[in-house]
Structure formats: structure tokens, C-alpha cells
Amino acid sequence: MISKTKIAIFASGSGSNYEVLERACREGELDAEIALVMTDKPASFVVERARQTEIRVVALEPKAFPTKRAFEETVLRILREEGVEWIVLAGYMRLIGPTLLAAYPSRIVNIHPSLLPAFPGKDAIGQAIAHGVKVTGVTVHLVDEGMDTGPILAQAAVSVVEGDAAMTAQSIHAVEHILYKETLQNLFKSVPATR
Ligand code: GAR
């Protein structure tokens, strides 16, 4: 039997992308196995969603560690124990540091709610509305040391609902939920396994 790609999902928020990816794995649409969900926000709703799907939750607050390096070394030890091959960021609102980047070179993927390089960082949808753009979108990219700057794997455009961040966010999420699983499936098929 061919073993599935082992992934860890990192999330800080609601976890709607987590939920879609978990279902895609379970239903065979994505040839991957979610080893764990890592969150830096123990009170976030993704924790509830992960528990409902019986996936291991690792909740670690960076402020409980003396340095970012110490935080990431602890995360890395757990990822290695679980045999995680890819890190999938799904609403993880923290920059990945050198420790994890060195351990997972070109093996960390992120989804961002804009057509990068436009509107990196926080509140990309609010930024798009404030700039008055008519079209924004979704980007899936590999993670490097910058803020939403790594090589782009896939993009899709989404029309802005004028002045309405909530409606625009809804359209963006709907596109994210399709684009992320498709892009990950293509990526995992095209890159050799590490195990
Ligand atoms: C998603 O829109 C994702 O693109 C964004 O956070 C949201 C998480 O939603 N990520 C970023 O802004 C990263 N810079 P979810 O918790 O419902 O999956």
C-alpha cells in the first residue's frame, strides 16, 4: 500500500480551511493524512473543529517560551515524532522562523486571501476594500522567510462586493475551500515523499 503524505495543519482562527482539508483527506480527495493540528491560539475555534474530527491538537502559546527558536524547536520535535512531511498553514497568523524553515525547506505551504504580492499580512480583505480594488482573490504559495512572499503555486480571482468586507470574505472563503485542496493534491503528487 502506498503511504499517504503526512501533514500538519497550523491554524490560529476559525478553521474552515482545516475542516475542508480534513474532509478531503477522509473522503480520498486529497491523498494525505493529517497527523495533527498545531495552534498558537488555544481558544481558537479550530481546536473545537479538530476535536470533533478526532485529530490530535497541539496548542502551544509562543509567549510561554523564552524565544521563538525555543518555541519552534518544541514544535519541530513533535512534528518529527509524528513523521510530518509537510506543514500546511491554514489561517496561521504568525511568521514561520528559521528553525522550521530549515527543517522543512520548500515544504511549508500557505493560503492567503489576496492576489499576492498585493495586500500581504493581516486583514488582506480589509486592505483590498480600503484600496477600492474591484478584484482581489486567493493565493497558495510556498513559505519563505518573508511575509506572504514565497513562490506562488496557484491563484484565483474573486470580485470584491463593494464596501462589504463580510460578503467579500464569504466569496473568498468559498474559493479557498476549492483551491487549497486541489493545489495540495497536485503538489503532493509532484514532489517525492520524504519517507
Ligand atoms: C483564510 O482566509 C486564510 O486565507 C487567511 O486566514 C483565513 C483563515 O480562515 N490567512 C491569512 O490571512 C494568512 N496571512 P479559516 O480559519 O476559516 O480557515
Cβ–ligand 1 distance for 41 under 6 Å, the answer: no
Which CATH code is given to the segment(s) 5-190?
3.40.50.170
Report the atom number in ligand 1 closest to the C-alpha of 90.
18
For residue 189, pLDDT beyond 60: yes
Q: What is the pLDDT of residues 102-146, one digit of tens each?
A: 999 999 999 999 999 999 999 999 999 999 999 999 999 999 999
Rounded Cα distance, 62 and 75, in Å: 10
Q: Which residues define the annotated binding site?
A: 15-17, 68, 93-96, 110
Report the atom number in ligand 1 closest to the C-alpha of 121.
14
Rounded Cα distance, 135 and 32, in Å: 32
Determine the distance from the C-alpha atom of residue 57 to the mean position of all C-alpha atoms in its chain, rounded to a whole number: 15
Q: How confident is the model at residue 78 (pLDDT cuts 50, 70, 90)?
A: very high
Given this model, what pLDDT does residue 2 score? 63
Given this model, what pLDDT does residue 195 score? 60
- pTM (two decimals): 0.96
Of 93, 100, 194, whose CA–CA distance to 144 is shortest? 100
Query: Ligand 1 centroid to 99 CA: how many Å?
Result: 23
For residue 194, pLDDT beyond 80: no
Cβ–ligand 1 distance for 19 under 6 Å, the answer: no
